[in-house]
Structure 1
Amino acid sequence: MPAVLERSAHLVAAYDIEIRAVAPELGDLVPARRMTVEADLTDDERILVPAPRRTLRLANGIAEFVRAAVPPGHTLAVCNGAQADPTDTELLDVLMRRIPASVLAITVYSGGPEPPPDSRDAGELWRIVDRSVREGFLDTVAELGERGLALSEPGGEPWWRFAQRTATALGGLGRQEEARAVWEQARRCSQDPAVHAASAYGLAMLDARHPDAAQRDLGRARAWINGAIAISTLLSEPAQRAFKLGFDRNGLALIELRQGHLGQALALVESAVELAGKLGERHPLHRMVLLANRAQLLAAMGRAKESLEDWAAAIAIDPMFPDYYVDRGNLLFKLGRHKEALADYESALRVGPPLPEAYYNRAELRIGQDDVDGALTDLDRVIDLDPSYVDAYINRAGLLATLERDDDARADATTGLALSPGNPHLLTVLGQLETAAGRFPEARQALDLAVDLAPRLASAWGNRGVLRYACGDLEGAITDLTRAVALAPQRDLYSNRAVALRALGRTAEAEEDDVRAAGFA
């Protein structure tokens, strides 16, 4: 590997984050070119935990580096494959999917020498857990964090550090009840107010952020966060109190937001921003998150100018944090400021590992600019990076159908429906394709289901209107197209309704629709 790095300096620079993440022992050979502000912060200031999808981004970056840097004809044998954790398995899957076997043939064996018993002490485990939290290796944190807890005195400072990281990782992995058990154990083992405040916050977020919206208990979350706020208010050290109280109020803002109380959520975040002003230069990530949250709330309330100001301030704190470029780009796109939106999406791609969302959003922007080839290129990239990205299949299938590449569109619709059964957008595309192929009963089945599942989806009504016209049901076609127009006035909907109206002899109404359609040119 050192030889590969030495002869591929430009690639090493392009994939420095990924290489340093998966092979920290190569750090001396891989200069850190894209560094976030977090690298220079103290332990208590590093509040961000990467989302589980970060490991997929890292794996894709490594695959691209190996594919470009390793000469063809190499073989990699992986022993003890059955013992690989989900992060390692994901990396192997991506490598095998994205690197041609002619470049690197990978064989995974379930057997191999038995690994020795883990004899690492709590200090060694902590160093790995701490690094794994920063890199987003949540499965590693969950596994080794539990070992660290078993080797530490319950309630002590080392034990609490393991507990906090382990519970957070478990929650991020969707292992809610295991995370809850760790937080509850912390409450039983400690009388430290800061521990109780943090545990109450952690329990509140398990309820407020549950991945299944139906299982979110916002009432219980509010009770827990109120407890956290009450404790934080009583903390004696001013800086700790300002930080913890602002952190907790930000958590309550999420609960208010999910209950539809935008004004209350904004007031809470603004109070947290005010408290953060008492921290001086400390806790920059805390300020960054608060500014970004306020930007999102302001945008939701239609206060775009103020939102953009907050996005700019948040990005200025850490220009190497990609997510906020995407968020600001989305707002700029909605405002019709496409050149600036494009610059933000490309900044997100430049400062971090491969990011499917940035390519997807850039594709949407290109669709709006009628750059079909560019949009397809970006959507191809999204699906290459993440074959489970359902929205990319939806958009690509729609574009391919527009280009009359029906077989390719059908393949995308079929793949997408396997990932998301009953998806109304994919059913709509499938219905459109079945109509074009003259398979009217199959088209009607798909479109009826799409309309039932998503009665406000204009394209479903519009395509069913086209189908009914093709079947000779002119009145039904006009009814469906009228519903589609009411939901989302578009040129093709008016044009199609004009055809149906004219076929019924309703010439004056058809001409009115022709005029409306021409207005979209």
Structure 2
Amino acid sequence: MERNGREAWPPEMSEQMREVDRLRRSGRYASALALIRQLAEANPRQVRLLSELGQTLAVWGGEPAEALVWFDRVLELAPGHNTTRLHRALALARVGRHAEAVADFDALVAGGYRKALVIHMKRAESLEALGRVEEAERDWTLALAEDPANPWLLQQRAGARARLGRLEEAVRDLTDALATQHGEEVDPELLWERGRLRERLGDSGGARADFEAGLAAFREGDPPALLDALRAGLRAS
């Protein structure tokens, strides 16, 4: 029986899919790919198998361009298969086809797809790549509505707001991001970014304090270029 381009799922296929997932999660990518490709080619209208083949290529294999062939095939058979549309959007972004990725993200938002945080975050990244910074700032804000205390999201919105010339709002975002961190968890990159913004606002004392705090928070494993940038900021402040 077929419905909206989708064939009924054969119960005996579930055990084979569990094996594919076991192989993927245990790091046996080549074996997982061979099995899911065999299943998909033997069942060319079984959209779940085609989608899982695409996901195996994109997520576990780092092959988004090849994965797109299978995602497109799924959406030809079942245009409403939103999980595949999400993975297609992510793959499109990874190969630099950001306008198409945004169109897919837009369709998912319009359809009320449940993974709002991922959609807004990834659409924001594609919008920034397209130079559509105001729209990206909107999406960072929507993502923050889903995860308000996320310091990385606050940092991304601060960057967008700084590019829009909204420096005081950007400083507030970085301050909020830093408020979530304590002790060894303080990210010196956030302090460097806030120091630079304070310099642009004419707050030399605040900038100097941030660069000093960034140097004090610098940890083994942080990028050497960040250490150089903090020292340069301190000399210039």
TM-score, normalised relative to structure 2: 0.71
Structure 2 alignment gaps of length 5 or more? 199-206
The answer to whether the 8 A contact 2:127-2:133 is kept is: yes
Gap change, CA 1:408 and 1:450, over 3 Å in 2: farther
Residue of structure 2 equivalent to 1:332: 57
Residue of structure 2 equivalent to 1:78: none
Q: How does 1:206-221 map to 2 (within 5 A)?
A: none
The answer to whether the 8 A contact 1:332-1:340 is kept is: yes
Residue of structure 1 equivalent to 2:156: 429
Q: How does 1:168-317 map to 2 (within 5 A)?
A: 285-316=10-41
Residue of structure 1 equivalent to 2:203: none
Gap change, CA 1:431 and 1:340, over 3 Å in 2: same
Residue of structure 2 equivalent to 1:348: 74
Shift of 1:425: 4.8
Whole-angstrom CA distance in 2 between matches of 1:347 and 1:313 = 16
Whole-angstrom CA distance in 2 between matches of 1:407 and 1:314 = 44
How large is the Cα RMSD of the aligned pairs? Answer: 3.5
Shift of 1:438: 0.9
Q: Which residue identity is paired with 1:346?
A: D
Whole-angstrom CA distance in 2 between matches of 1:467 and 1:402 = 23
1:365 is matched with which residue: 72, 87, 91? Answer: 91
User: What CA deviation, in whole Å up to 9, does each residue of 1:362-401 have, x standing for no partner?
Assistant: 2222322233323222222322233553211011123334
Q: Which protein has the larger Cα radius of gyration, Structure 1 or Structure 2?
A: 1
The answer to whether the 8 A contact 2:53-2:70 is kept is: yes
Gap change, CA 1:394 and 1:451, over 3 Å in 2: farther
Determine helix, strand or coil for the equivalent of 1:345.
helix
Q: Which residue identity is paired with 1:299?
A: R
1:381 is matched with which residue: 107, 112, 129? Answer: 107
The answer to whether the 8 A contact 2:120-2:139 is kept is: yes
The answer to whether the 8 A contact 1:427-1:446 is kept is: yes
Gap change, CA 1:450 and 1:340, over 3 Å in 2: farther
Whole-angstrom CA distance in 2 between matches of 1:419 and 1:410 = 15
Residue of structure 2 equivalent to 1:438: 167
Whole-angstrom CA distance in 2 between matches of 1:361 and 1:426 = 21
Residue of structure 2 equivalent to 1:390: 117
Q: Does 1:470 align with 2:194?
A: no
Q: Which residue identity is paired with 2:90?
A: E
Q: Which residue identity is paired with 2:104?
A: D
Whole-angstrom CA distance in 2 between matches of 1:449 and 1:387 = 32
Aligned length: 217
User: What CA deviation, in whole Å up to 9, does each residue of 1:82-133 have, x standing for no partner?
Assistant: xxxxxxxxxxxxxxxxxxxxxxxxxxxxxxxxxxxxxxxxxxxxxxxxxxxx
Identity in percent: 17
User: What CA deviation, in whole Å up to 9, does each residue of 1:312-344 have, x standing for no partner?
Assistant: 233245332323333322221242333321112
Shift of 1:307: 0.5
Whole-angstrom CA distance in 2 between matches of 1:294 and 1:338 = 23
Gap change, CA 1:465 and 1:296, over 3 Å in 2: farther
Q: How does 1:498-513 map to 2 (within 5 A)?
A: 498-504=228-234
The answer to whether the 8 A contact 1:400-1:406 is kept is: yes
Structure 1 alignment gaps of length 5 or more? 1-15, 19-33, 39-47, 49-284, 487-492, 506-521
2:138 is matched with which residue: 401, 404, 411? Answer: 411
Q: Which residue identity is paired with 2:57?
A: L
Shift of 1:447: 1.8
User: What CA deviation, in whole Å up to 9, does each residue of 1:263-321 have, x standing for no partner?
Assistant: xxxxxxxxxxxxxxxxxxxxxx2331111111111111110111112212332453323
Q: Does 1:321 align with 2:46?
A: yes
Shift of 1:419: 4.1
Gap change, CA 1:302 and 1:434, over 3 Å in 2: same
Whole-angstrom CA distance in 2 between matches of 1:396 and 1:450 = 25
